[in-house]
Amino acid sequence: MIPQPVNLRTELIPRRPDQDPGVAAADGPFPLPGGWVRGTLDTAGQTWQLLLPADPNALLDEPSASTAATTDDRMPYWAFVWPAAIPMIAAVLQADWPAGTRVLELGCGTGIVGLAALRRGHLVTFTDYEHRAVALAARNAELNHCHNFTAQLLDWRRPENTTWPVIIGCDLLYQTSAFEPLLQLLDQMLAPGGVCWLGDGGRSAPRKFWYLARERGYDVQVLDTHGQPLSRPASDFQLFILRKHAQP
């Protein structure tokens, strides 16, 4: 079981006794094992209203999860609010990107990190390989009265030609097999002179990503929870900032 942040409060959305289990609850964008909860997240001096799966672990038992794990290492981790999202939200809220910056969120999951960028006045596109995550992120943006966003499917193995000045993501660096597709996506979709912010909860795997990104020509900085530079990846929250050189 993955622990939820302590500053996340949830309330179960009741299902009518006569409601078909295959039909989404009134506030839910789609049917889900275990139903939905309304969540309130207080962090970094801000409050967000969220719609969340009531039992994210139930999704790990779906037949599709077993198939995904066998075929392409994809599991329904989009349903969790990962603890690393909390310091990542704080970092995004303090970012010095100009208002109205176009921001692409990779692996959006519930959308909470992208919501922080929206609250700062940026133009956010939520993306994920899982259509349910895309729908959930869009619903959560609507719940927080955000309008300057789009949401779409994106497979890292099939990057698009559109480039972005800022790309963000959180808890994406847990599978070393994903590092090469992710870096190939950044090669194509991160604009020259652009930055990519990737938050991680302190896993050991990102050390390899750190080396690979630098070998690829990116300037890589690693910051801790307080925004202080780290000489190398750590065992606590770490923010990887990749900068692509501007074209001469």
For the segment 180-229, what is each residue's pLDDT rounded down to a tens digit? Answer: 999 999 999 999 999 999 999 999 899 999 999 999 999 999 999 999 99
Distance CA 185, CA 143 (A): 30
Residues of the chain with pLDDT under 50: 1, 22-24, 71
Q: Where are the alpha helices (DSSP H) in 62-178?
A: 63-72, 85-93, 112-119, 131-143
Instruction: Give 195's DSSP letter.
Output: E
Task: Identify whether the C-beta of residue 242 lies closer than 8 Å to the C-beta of residue 186.
Answer: yes
**Across the chain, what does the average pLDDT equal?**
89
pLDDT recorded at residue 231:
85
pLDDT recorded at residue 23:
44
pLDDT recorded at residue 200:
96
pTM of the model: 0.90
**Structural domains of the chain ordered from first start:** 8-75 (no CATH), 79-243 (3.40.50.150)
Residue 173 burial by CB count (10 A; 0-12/13-18/19+): exposed, middle or buried?
buried
pLDDT recorded at residue 186:
99
